[in-house]
Amino acid sequence: MPQLRLYRTNAARQKAYRLRHGLNKRIKKAKPYFLSSSIEWGTPVEIFNPLDAQYHFTLDVCASAANAKVPRYLSAAQDGLAQDWGQEVCWMNPPYGPQLAAWMRKAYESAQGGATVVCFLPARTCTRWWHTYAMRGEYTFLKGRTRFEGAASGAPFPSVIVVFRPPAGPAARG
């Protein structure tokens, strides 16, 4: 006859069961299929040049000396999130990490303040930043997978161009 065990909580009972049956080992996390040591990737000229011809960018808001697409740019040391983008026509290829939502917020708010901001982004339509900010702009999904400058292969995600324009002024409304 098995011995009756009493436990104070269900969690304690489950823990004892896992210990008895050797199930207390941590489950290994699945390795990602694609992993990059960098969150910064240079924009391919075949994407940037047609957009520059259309918008005539005056400021690259998140760049480095190595990957800036516009003569005037804000580097990580200058912290583009903390700067005023004013009435500029901005190019934004932000770092594709946890700060992406902050960049989208800055782009949207800067457009409300008078800037035009063209964003080159991963098409992550299931994220909060997409629904909060990107859907308020004009967006165009790019066909295929983008091959960033310096990358050995195409990105494992689709890309999108999102454009935030300043609100129409009273004179424009007629």
| pLDDT digits 0-9 by tens, 118-151 | 999 999 999 999 999 999 999 999 998 888 777 7
Can you list the domains of the chain with their CATH numbers? 45-173 (3.40.50)
Q: At 137, is the secondary structure helix, strand, or coil?
A: coil
Residue with tokens 């290829």: 93
Q: Which carries the bigger pLDDT value, residue 70 or residue 21?
A: 70
Q: What is the mean pLDDT of the chain?
A: 85
- CA dist 152 → 44, 122, 125, 149, 158 (Å): 13, 18, 25, 9, 16
> Distance between CA atoms of 144 and 66, rounded to whole angstroms?
26
Average pLDDT over residues 12-17: 82
Question: For residue 40, what are its two tokens?
Answer: 């910064």
Q: Which two tokens stand for residue 42?
A: 């240079």
